[in-house]
């Protein structure tokens, strides 16, 4: 198995033009993240989710209800292609963007990406990125959901207070060593405690997927023994 762990960075998209292809749920989620980061979003899609339609109506995004044109890449910083039903277009957009050294992410097509979109915990000022190196996006999503429940309103207040304290210390304390000591003391007692819970039959279910022909997964009467979709073994 050839796994690319990628190099984890945070991109500055503030006031930069970012192109999003598609108008479905994935496009909505990626557009939301770009807007939160201050990007100028151009969206190409004929059909939009209600949220995307509202953002277009209120001019939070610039919406074009037409097919992709090569000129759409002019002055673009990055491209997020969420289309899943147009492989030829996805390949073409990748080649054009790559030729111009424009960052591009093609949904569920790691080979056609120059950057990855990780699962993101977005709570207050916290940005916690979760990646499984594309081995299990489902697990990354599950981890994100668990962490979102962990970082509550109390945590947001705590982080806000730390930000205020850091700003004042930086403006009042000239000695670098003293500044670090003061700010590190504020988080000295902070920790996370937890326990991982695994699906009861995960090993048998994985083994089943590795050996089964996977031809009757949608039929409860014919699916293989230990199939994850079988009601006899589904425990989560």
Does 132 fall in a domain? yes
Are 95 and 161 contained in the same domain? no
Q: What average pLDDT does the segment 26-42 reach?
A: 97
Number of domains present in the structure of the chain:
3
Do 154 and 92 sit in the same domain of this protein? no
Same domain for 91 and 40:
yes
The answer to whether 111 touches 53, Cβ cutoff 8 Å, is no
Expressed as residue numbers, the domain containing 206 is 199-236
Split at pLDDT 50, 70, 90, the class of 231 is low
- Quote the longest CA-to-CA distance of the chain: 72
Residues 94 and 53 grouped into a single domain: yes
pTM flag (> 0.85): no
23 and 101 housed in the same domain: yes
- Is the predicted pLDDT of residue 236 greater than 60, yes or no? no
**Band of pLDDT at residue 104, cut at 50, 70 and 90:** very high
What is the rounded distance in angstroms from the CA atom of residue 183 to the CA atom of residue 180?
Answer: 5
Q: How many helices (H) and strands (E) does the chain have?
A: 7, 7
pLDDT at 235: 45
Q: What is the DSSP string of 159-194?
A: HHHHHHHHHHHHHH---HHHHHHHHHHTTTT-----
- Same domain, residue pair 89 and 179: no
């Amino acid at each position: 198995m050839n796994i690319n762990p990628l190099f984890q960075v945070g991109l500055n998209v503030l006031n930069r033009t970012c192109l999003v292809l598609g108008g479905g749920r994935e496009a909505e989620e990626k557009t939301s993240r770009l807007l939160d980061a201050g990007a100028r979003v151009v969206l190409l899609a004929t059909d939009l989710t209600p949220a995307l339609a509202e953002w277009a109506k209120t001019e939070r995004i610039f919406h074009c209800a037409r097919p992709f044109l090569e000129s759409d890449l002019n002055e673009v910083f990055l491209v997020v292609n969420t289309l899943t039903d147009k492989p030829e277009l996805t390949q073409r957009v990748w080649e054009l963007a790559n030729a111009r050294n424009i960052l591009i992410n093609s949904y569920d097509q790691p080979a056609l990406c120059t950057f990855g979109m990780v699962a993101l915990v977005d709570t207050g000022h916290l940005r916690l990125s979760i990646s499984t190196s594309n081995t299990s996006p489902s697990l990354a999503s599950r981890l994100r959901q668990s962490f979102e429940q962990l970082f509550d309103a109390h945590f947001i207040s705590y982080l806000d207070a730390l930000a205020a304290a850091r700003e004042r210390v930086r403006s009042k304390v000239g000695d670098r060593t003293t500044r670090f000591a003061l700010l590190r003391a504020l988080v000295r007692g902070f920790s996370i405690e937890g326990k991982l819970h695994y699906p009861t039959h995960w090993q048998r279910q994985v083994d089943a997927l590795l050996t089964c022909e996977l031809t009757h997964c949608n039929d409860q009467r014919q699916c293989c023994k230990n199939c994850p979709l079988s009601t006899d073994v589904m425990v989560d």
